[in-house]
Amino acid sequence: MLRVGAHESIAGGVYNAVDSQLDDGGNCGQIFTHSPQVWQDPNIDDDEAEQFRAKSTDNDVGPWVIHSSYLVNLCTPKDGLREKSIDSMQKEVDAAAKLDVPYVNVHLGAHTGAGVDGGLDNAASALDELDVPDGVTVLVESDAGSGTKLGGDFDHLAEVLDRSAQDLEVCLDTAHMFAAGYDLSSPEAVAETLAEFDDVVGFEKLSCVHLNDSKHECGTNKDEHAHVGEGYIGEDGMRAFVNHEAVREVPLVLETPTEDGKSFAWNIQRVKDLRE
């Protein structure tokens, strides 16, 4: 069964994300538990959580993913930022347990001078400090790879999974992969890129995909999302990706823009049309 949905707002109550998802035609999705631009704790009361769980179950919407704050930097060598990042992640995995959300998604962050190896060690050890509740899994997301940010190379993902004692899994972002230099613009490129991911990380670790086209060319390290099939990945690449055997059972979450008269609903329908 095709699981496709969007990153929905929780304005007015986290349960409203379920209604928005249904309105957009989705059956899985992603949320922030608070503004991702500030250090803030999730503020979800028991009644809200119960309504979210009930609406999701009653309407067969799931799995859901919580996306961590943009401020979290697991790779940092700075003690203060590291502690804030760990504390923020702990609150996110606890919120996920409260909501019966199986996944919390996080970017590795930037090593800011610690070096690639040092940054990966920092990330793995930070993740090891989390007390992850049963039923919740942390997903490490692929990155566009600009500056000292890690996660742009499949090797980075594999190394963190190997170095951490946590049972981590992976979220691939198609726009980020493309920006980092992994071509997805043709059926042949999709097959080659996903074969490399399987060789380095393994399809068994792939639990979610952020399905986004790219406004910039492959290898530019520029992270700007486009409507599905209308960016540089294009229709042929997106069709090949969503129909690849390794992706068919993986939930697809859209973080596409709302512009040109096209919203999440348009992009969700576009994915459904591309699926064969």
pLDDT (tens digit, 9 = 90+) per residue, 78-98?
Answer: 999 999 999 999 999 999 999
pLDDT (tens digit, 9 = 90+) per residue, 125-151?
Answer: 999 999 999 999 999 999 999 999 999
d(CA 145, CA 91): 27
pTM: 0.97
User: CATH number, domain at 177?
Assistant: 3.20.20.150
Domain count, the chain: 1
The one-letter code for the residue type at 247 is: V
pLDDT (tens digit, 9 = 90+) per residue, 220-248?
Answer: 999 999 999 999 999 999 999 999 999 99
pLDDT (tens digit, 9 = 90+) per residue, 154-169?
Answer: 999 999 999 999 999 9
Nearest Cα neighbor of 128 from 166, 73, 158, 168 is 166
Nearest Cα neighbor of 152 from 141, 139, 164, 162 is 141
- Tell me which DSSP letter residue 70 carries: T
Q: Which domain holds residue 84?
A: 4-274
The confidence score (pLDDT) of residue 159 equals 98
